[in-house]
Amino acid sequence: MTRTIRTLQLCLIGTGLLGGQAAQAYDLPVVNLGLTTFLDGGLPAGPGWYIQQYFQDYRADHLRDQHGKDLPLPNQELDYQVAVTQLSYLSNLRLGNASLGLNAVLPVVTSMDVDDGLDNAVLKAQSGVGDLLIGPFIQFDPIMGEDGPRFVHRIELQVNLPTGKYDDDHAINPGANAWSFNPYWAATYWFTPKWTASIRAHYLYNGKNDDPNYSYGGADDIQAGQAVHANLATEYAVTPQLRLGLNGYWLNQFTDTKIDGHEVSGRREKVWAIGPGAMYSFSQEDHLFVNAYFEQDVENRPEGSRVQVRYVHHF
């Protein structure tokens, strides 16, 4: 049994380990995959304070390697639930045709269930508080047309701080134990007053983790590769309050992870997903989103599905 576990650990070191939206264990840290969707280019009610609460359920029964094949484990199950709280402030400070603001995001992995078929001797996991994300942003004024807004966009310089729970004795942790820089551009375009499309495109640069978990075979440090990822969505207002549409996300790691300063091939992560979504506006100050995603063409990541609920309130 011990020899089998050791063989599987060595295999996992070569292919990349398990990871997901809320818990870090493949090389890349937690990033925004599908958290934001419709009308993403602007805040719905102008300057002031906003609170956004997300609840997400993720379930996977495939852990993919660099070729998109299952990892050599007797069982491959990952289920987790995460609550994410976001506090935003859009100020009255002006910079030309734009306003300045600040975002703070804190995820909490409330439940984590992993089964590797070996009493989790290979994939040890823990739940807890994740890394804090801080981002100053510039919200540009909407470009107006005859029938209302036509285009609105925002730029944010987001930094992920290594404040989350982390233990090198666990392969799956809520925190990454490394900082990262994850700026994005978000935009919404109105084809008609009722039909829009939105995008949020990120670039990800990662710092070093000086205390890698056991799956890296005693390495002194690791530095995850660079990546790009994006959320895309389109929706149609079937009533003044209800919007229905499609939402998706895409991630591609385009440089190799470095272990002890040396680039290691075969660890780059890739995934895309699509699914249905809905948005209900109780008022200009209160909005409810429900979104589902089904992952495809996965490499070096788990492959599964996620459902999330998001509530936005403007004070």
Torsional class of 146: left (φ above 0), alpha (ψ -120 to 50), beta (otherwise): alpha
* Residue 15 confidence class, pLDDT cut points 50, 70, 90: very low
Whether the Cβ atoms of residue 302 and residue 270 lie closer than 8 Å to each other = no
Q: Computed over its alpha carbons, how large is the radius of gyration of the chain? A: 20
- Lowest-pLDDT range, 210-214, 234-238, 248-252? 210-214
Separation between Cα atoms, residue 250 and residue 300, nearest integer Å: 14
Q: What mean pLDDT value characterizes the chain?
A: 91
Whether the Cβ atoms of residue 97 and residue 141 lie closer than 8 Å to each other = yes
CA dihedral 305, 30, 137, 276 (to 10 degrees): 0
State what percent of residues in the chain have pLDDT above 90.
83
pTM for this structure? 0.90
Q: For residue 258, what pLDDT is reported?
A: 96
Q: For residue 313, what pLDDT is reported?
A: 98
Q: For residue 13, what pLDDT is reported?
A: 37
CA dihedral 64, 83, 181, 155 (to 10 degrees): 120
Tell me the average pLDDT across 3-21: 37
Looking at domain 2-314, its CATH class is mainly beta
For residue 168 the two structure tokens come to 């090198």
Q: What is the pLDDT of residues 40-94, one digit of tens each?
A: 999 999 999 999 999 999 999 999 999 999 988 888 899 999 999 999 999 999 9
Per domain, the residue ranges of the chain are 2-314
Q: For residue 187, what pLDDT is reported?
A: 98
3-state secondary structure the chain: CHHHHHHHHHHHHHHCCCCCCCCECCCCCCCCCCCCCCCCCCCCCCCEEEEEEEEEEEEEEEEECCCCCECCCCCCEEEEEEEEEEEEEEEEEECCCEEEEEEEEEEEEEEEEEECCCCCCCCCECCEECCEEEEEEEEECCEEECCEEEEEEEEECCEEECCCCCCCCCCEECCCCCCEECCEEEEEEECCCCEEEEEEEEEEEECEECCCCHHHCCCCCEECCCEEEEEEEEEEECCCCEEEEEEEEEEEECCCEEECCEEECCCCCEEEEEEEEEEEECCCCEEEEEEEEEEEEEECCEEEEEEEEEEEEEC
235: phi then psi, degrees, rounded to nearest 5? -150, 165
Separation between Cα atoms, residue 17 and residue 124, nearest integer Å: 11
Q: For residue 185, what pLDDT is reported?
A: 98
Residues 6 or more apart from 103 whose CB is under 8 A from it?
A: 86, 87, 88, 133, 134, 135, 136, 137, 156, 158
Which residue is it, tokens 């495109």? 201
Q: What is the pLDDT of residues 282-306, one digit of tens each?
A: 999 999 999 999 999 999 999 999 9
Q: What is the pLDDT of residues 114-158, one digit of tens each?
A: 988 888 877 888 999 999 999 999 999 999 999 999 999 999 999
Q: Is the dihedral of CA 124, 132, 58, 212 positive or negative?
A: negative
